[in-house]
Structures are given as structure tokens and as C-alpha cells.
Structure 1
Amino acid sequence: MAPYAAEYLPILLFLGVALALSAAFVVLPMIASRFTGASNPYADKLAEYECGFPAFEDSRSQFDVRFYLVAILFIIFDLEAAFLFPWAVSLGAIGIAGWAAMMIFLAELTLGYIYAWKKGALEWE
């Protein structure tokens, strides 16, 4: 049994180092914030900072649909880039069928882009 247990020693050491580092990355910033005064809130620290001016409406008000359309279009084109790299790497192995499938995918994506452009989803007022 001893030889088999010795084979797990590197894994246990790796897990120990990973746990120690992750604990350090959680605990050390909290300790540093106590010493630097970052945890002492006051009115200026609690003020709005994302947009530079105080909120003037209810926080539960609805956003314009264009925010969501832009986000969805970003995700679509981000996924396109994520699909293009592995396809380009494996193009020699997948042959003409893989090339044709990607061309169909790109044609559909282009049609969707043209449709969104014609509908005014990319216009910002």
C-alpha cells in the first residue's frame, strides 16, 4: 500500500499549495484594507461613481431595448470569433464538409447582421 500512497503525494502537495494561495488571495486584501482605511465608509465614498451623477429615477426602471440588442449582438459576434479559431486550426482535418458548414454559418450570421442593421438595432440616438 505504501508505494501507491506515495504516488498521491504530488497531488496532495499541489492541492495544499492551491488552497494556501487561494486563502491568501482572499484574506490578504481584507487585511490590507483594514490597515489602509479602505473599509472606513464616509459620504464621499458612498456616492455614485459609475456615471458621475446621482441617480434621478427609480432603480427598478426599465432600460431601453437597445441596450439588450447591443448586448445580444456583441455575444453573437463574440461567439463567431470563438468558433472561427478552432475551425481554422482544424480545417485540414475536417475537409470540404467543415468548410461548407462554416460558410453556411457565416452566411446566416451575415444575414442576421444585415437584418439588425436594416431594422435600426445598431442606430443610437
Structure 2
Amino acid sequence: MKIMWTFLTILLLTNLLFWMTTLISKKSKMSREKNTPFECGFNSFSSPRKSFSTHFFLVATIFLIFDVEISIILPMYNTKMSLMKEWMFSTIIVLNILILGLFHEWKNGMLEWSK
């Protein structure tokens, strides 16, 4: 019974704090000037709803994927595998996957910046 009362008290306090912060943090005056994006004290030079370059996103994603794969390769050189053949086999597999992925992206034109 004590656990239930403790749980209910904690639940009540968290809900009370949540509602208090939402009431306190409300903006009292909404104006056009406050709702516009701030760019170093100047008015906006272009629309903030400008379309995003999907190609830039794909290149950034490819970079992140290869960056993570490099972080997988680097510990291979520092591990103490029992056999040299085992180490060489696992390294060749990882490098082949990387090279095949690079060729696939190259073949599909994902690495071309201007189209």
C-alpha cells in the first residue's frame, strides 16, 4: 500500500510540475517580428521554407556509413586474434563489403555532385 501511495504522489508531483512549466513558459505576446527567423540582426535574405537538397543528404548519409565502417575496421588491427589467417579473412571480408558498396554507389550515380 505504501508503494502505491508513493507512486501516486510522484505521479501527481510530476504532472503538477509539468503543467506549471507549460503555464509559465507561454509567450504572452505573439507578433510578426518575434515569429520571424533571426539572422544576425538582419531581415531574412531568403525564405526559411526553401527546399532541402536531397543529394546533399544522400552524400552525408554515405559519409556517415563509411565513417562507421572505418570505426569497425580500426579495432581489427588492435585485436589479438588467435590465427593470422582468421584476422586476414575477417579484414578481407569487411574491406570487400566496403569496396562493393562504393562501386554500387558509384554505379548508381550517388557520388556525382552535379547532375
Matched, 1:63 2:52: yes
Q: Deviations over 1:35-71 (max 9, x none)?
A: xxxxxxxx883338xxxxx5423x3444222112111
CA separation of 1:82 and 1:60: change in aligned 2, threshold 3 A: same
Partner of 2:71: 82
5 Å-filtered alignment, 1:14-33, equals none
5 Å-filtered alignment, 1:43-54, equals 45-47=40-42, 54=44
Cα distance in 2 between the residues matched to 1:99 and 1:74: 25
Partner of 1:103: 92
Cα distance in 1 between the residues matched to 2:78 and 2:45: 48
- Per-residue deviation, 1:93: 2.2
Q: Give the counterpart letter for 2:46 in structure 1.
A: F
Partner of 1:32: none
Q: Give the counterpart letter for 1:45 in structure 2.
A: C
Superposition TM-score, scaled by structure 2 size: 0.53
Structure richer in helix, relative to its length = 1
Runs of 4+ in 1 over 6 A off after TM superposition: none
Q: Which runs of 5+ in 1 are unaligned?
A: 1-42, 49-53
Cα distance in 2 between the residues matched to 1:109 and 1:44: 41
Partner of 2:103: 114
- Per-residue deviation, 1:115: 1.0
Cα distance in 2 between the residues matched to 1:120 and 1:82: 25
Q: Give the counterpart letter for 1:112 in structure 2.
A: G
Cα distance in 2 between the residues matched to 1:44 and 1:75: 29
How many residue pairs get matched? 76
Q: Give the counterpart letter for 1:119 in structure 2.
A: N
